[in-house]
């Protein structure tokens, strides 16, 4: 018995020692990762700025929980902050050590039009500084070609091709599915063009929604094409757009030959040939990998020169992503988080003005009002408030813009969508199919409402619709006060309709067309700061230590996407489409509170990666609907 106890004791001690050793190894691994994750400015040397984009470009990258990623086995898509790439290109144009820029778009998944335009302008500035820009990809699509068009020389893999299609396509509608499953979607909305909830009400797109989207698509795409043609005038893009099948058949399906013959690309070669070409011109790389050339990355470029910090500070607060209640990390415009960030900025004595950078399709009305009130507090402190609209500033994104002294947008900005809605599902018909009914006693017309199991009463529907209509009147009033219009004038251009930036300016929804630099300059002017007497100070949500240290362990997993040739891209888009269906269905149950949200704006948002974790949600949905 004593021997057994001694053996057990040794076993317990051994397990304890093993766990202690494991924790120590983990600690030192984390320490090593933290020390090595900091960019080294010494890595910038004579050579090429390698702008390798393996993911999407966004206004504010979303936080990724590395532990969750490791445990789920789902590799997150990498996101690049637009202003980081813009600044890296600005520095590259000025730094004599930078001889050229390599734009690797093989795994680029897209970005908003405003983001692509801002980066395209900086690529042009690099070329004007006498430094060539070289682009490479297996296949070029709308977003990637918008960037590649600015290159001095475009390379493409001989097995790839160029396929430019323009915006548009179909979306899914669920009325038939909801009817068959017995789910009743109770929709309360205001706005003739508020098509965000149409997938739950109709089996097709309404004429009003088609009219609004067609107008925005035409303006959006005309501007995009004009920029691409200006950047690459010799490219025969129109032929590929008007008769793509005929053009491709005429080239016997050889997309690479078609692209080269039409001036869309300059050279055909694989990645190694591209690297060898750069190595011959700018020097060999330090490693012995085939195709290696003397290069450094964006992080090293940014670390080579710190931003200016002299003079008065202009606070920049970003509201990016869906507007939601409560707190959230970067990439989500949570009401508590963004409003608290604004209060933190205006409490800083060095801050002389505030710029709100908006890139949001909207969301919760309550959270939108939280953010608006924080901006009102800034106005009470006599601080100039400037709004800079990025890719999207629709619905709630416009709501939070109303306190601004000046609103800047760009031609590619999607804004408006002034309208609100509420959605609540009930399951009385679904339950009745499996023999479950409900009954009870009510002490008032609203007792027990909303009754998810027995169905909503007429009184509740009337109350809910009345509340939504009152919220719409509030929205109109806020816009009218801020834009110097009557509520009737705003209503005529509201009704949930979206507008592109140029038309929005003509309608008076925005004041000027301009980029972030213009908004900062206007803020400095209104704060009466000298031209060189100010700097931008970015106020971001507090970072979580897990995302900084442990993030380095999943960093290598960002590159799990295959090269984006035609068929790989099509497969990837199918995965996105499947996830969109389940996201729409999940949205029916997850909407909390009255919403000022533009769901139809998703097509204009930066591309996101497929998330394998969504398969679990899909399985749950089909399991639920099959019962």
**Which residue numbers are catalytic?**
194, 395
Residues 160, 143: contact at Cβ < 8 Å? no
Residues 132, 124: contact at Cβ < 8 Å? no
Task: Please provide the DSSP assignment of 326-344 as one string.
Answer: S---TTSEEHHHHHHHHHH
> Which class for 356: exposed (0-12), middle (13-18), buried (19 or more C-beta within 10 A)?
buried
| Maximum CA extent, the chain | 91
* Structure-token pair, residue 623: 């399991």
Q: Which DSSP helix (H) or strand (E) runs through 582?
A: helix 566-590
Q: Which of 395, 507, 389 is nearest to 113 (CA)?
A: 389
Q: Which DSSP helix (H) or strand (E) runs through 94?
A: helix 82-94
Residues 185, 425: contact at Cβ < 8 Å? yes
Q: Which value, in Å, is the radius of gyration of the alpha carbons in the chain? A: 27
Residues 365, 594: contact at Cβ < 8 Å? yes
DSSP state of 263: T
For 373, 535, 599, the CA distances from 175, given in Å and listed in that order, are 38, 52, 17
Q: Which of 363, 421, 369, 354 is nearest to 400 (CA)?
A: 369
> Chain centroid to CA 320: how far?
7
Q: Which of 380, 383, 473, 371 is nearest to 420 (CA)?
A: 473
Strand 420-426 to strand 184-190: parallel, antiparallel, or no bridges (unpaired)? Answer: antiparallel
* Structure-token pair, residue 181: 């499953």
Q: Which residues pair with 155 in a beta bridge?
A: 136, 267
The CA-to-CA distance between both ends of the chain, in Å, stands at 56
Residues 624, 397: contact at Cβ < 8 Å? no
Which runs of E-coded beta strand occur in 67-152? 78-81, 98-104, 110-111, 133-140
Q: How many CA atoms lie within 13 A of 500 on its CB side?
A: 20
Peptide bond into 450 cis (omega under 30): yes
The neighbour count for residue 47, using CB atoms within 10 Å, is 23
Q: Which of 255, 300, 295 is nearest to 145 (CA)?
A: 255
Could you give the CA distance from residue 117 to residue 224 in angstroms, rounded to a whole number? 9
* Structure-token pair, residue 606: 């930066």
Q: Which DSSP helix (H) or strand (E) runs through 23?
A: helix 2-37
Residues 428, 181: contact at Cβ < 8 Å? no
The neighbour count for residue 236, using CB atoms within 10 Å, is 15
Place of tokens 């408030």: 385
Could you give the CA distance from residue 106 to residue 101 in angstroms, rounded to a whole number? 15
């Amino acid at each position: 018995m004593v021997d057994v106890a001694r053996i057990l004791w040794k076993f317990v001690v051994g397990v304890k020692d093993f766990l202690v050793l494991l924790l120590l190894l983990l600690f030192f691994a984390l320490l090593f990762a933290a020390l090595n994750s900091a960019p080294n400015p010494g890595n910038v040397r004579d050579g090429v700025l390698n702008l390798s984009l393996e993911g999407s470009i966004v206004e504010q990258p979303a936080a990724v929980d590395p532990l969750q990623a490791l445990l789920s086995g789902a590799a997150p898509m990498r996101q690049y902050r637009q202003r980081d790439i813009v600044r890296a290109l600005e520095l590259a144009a000025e730094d004599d050590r930078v001889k050229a820029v390599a734009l690797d778009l093989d795994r680029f998944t897209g970005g908003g039009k405003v983001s692509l335009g801002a980066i395209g302008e900086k690529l042009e500035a690099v070329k004007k500084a006498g430094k060539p820009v070289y682009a490479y990809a297996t296949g070029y699509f709308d977003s990637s070609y918008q960037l590649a068009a600015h290159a001095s020389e475009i390379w493409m893999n001989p097995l790839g091709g160029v396929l430019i299609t323009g915006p548009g396509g179909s979306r899914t509608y669920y009325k038939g599915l909801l009817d068959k499953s017995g789910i009743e979607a109770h929709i309360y909305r205001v706005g003739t063009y508020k098509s965000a909830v149409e997938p739950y009400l109709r089996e097709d797109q309404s004429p009003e929604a088609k009219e609004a989207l067609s107008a925005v698509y035409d303006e959006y795409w005309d501007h995009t094409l004009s920029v691409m043609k200006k950047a690459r005038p010799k490219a025969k893009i129109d032929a590929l757009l008007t008769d793509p099948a005929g053009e491709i058949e005429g080239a016997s399906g050889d997309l690479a030959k078609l692209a080269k013959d039409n001036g869309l690309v300059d050279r055909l070669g694989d990645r190694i040939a591209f690297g060898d070409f750069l190595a011959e011109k700018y020097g060999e790389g330090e490693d012995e990998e085939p195709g290696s050339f003397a290069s450094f990355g964006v992080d090293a470029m940014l670390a080579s020169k710190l931003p200016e910090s002299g003079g008065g500070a202009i606070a920049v607060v970003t509201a990016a992503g869906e507007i939601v209640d409560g707190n959230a990390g970067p990439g989500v415009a949570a009401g508590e988080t963004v409003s608290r960030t604004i209060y933190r900025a205006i409490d800083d004595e060095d801050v002389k003005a505030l710029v709100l950078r908006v890139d949001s399709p909207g969301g919760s009305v309550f959270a939108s009002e939280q953010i608006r009130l924080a901006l009102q507090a800034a106005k009470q402190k006599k601080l100039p408030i400037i709004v800079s609209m990025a890719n999207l500033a629709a619905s709630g994104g416009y709501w939070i813009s109303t306190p601004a002294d000046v609103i800047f947008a760009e031609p590619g900005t999607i804004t408006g969508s002034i309208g609100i809605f509420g959605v609540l599902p009930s399951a009385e018909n679904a339950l009745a199919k499996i023999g479950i009914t409900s009954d009870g006693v009510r002490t008032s017309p609203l007792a027990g409402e909303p009754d998810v199991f027995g169905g909503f009463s007429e009184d509740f529907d009337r109350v809910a619709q009345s509340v939504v209509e009152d919220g719409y009147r509030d929205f109109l009033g806020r816009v009218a006060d801020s834009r110097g219009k009557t509520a009737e004038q705003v209503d005529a251009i509201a009704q949930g309709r979206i507008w592109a930036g140029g038309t929005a300016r003509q309608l008076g929804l925005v004041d000027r067309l301009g980029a972030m630099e213009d908004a900062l300059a206007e803020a400095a002017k209104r704060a009466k700061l000298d031209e060189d007497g100010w700097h931008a100070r970015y106020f971001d949500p507090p970072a979580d230590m897990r995302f900084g240290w442990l993030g380095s362990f999943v960093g290598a997993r960002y590159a799990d996407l295959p090269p984006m040739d035609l068929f790989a891209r099509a497969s990837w888009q199918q995965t996105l489409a499947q996830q969109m269906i389940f996201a729409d269905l999940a949205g029916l149950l997850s909407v909390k509170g009255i919403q000022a949200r533009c769901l139809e704006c998703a097509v204009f948002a930066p591309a996101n990666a497929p998330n394998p974790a969504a398969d679990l949600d899909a399985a749950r949905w089909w399991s639920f609907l099959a019962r």
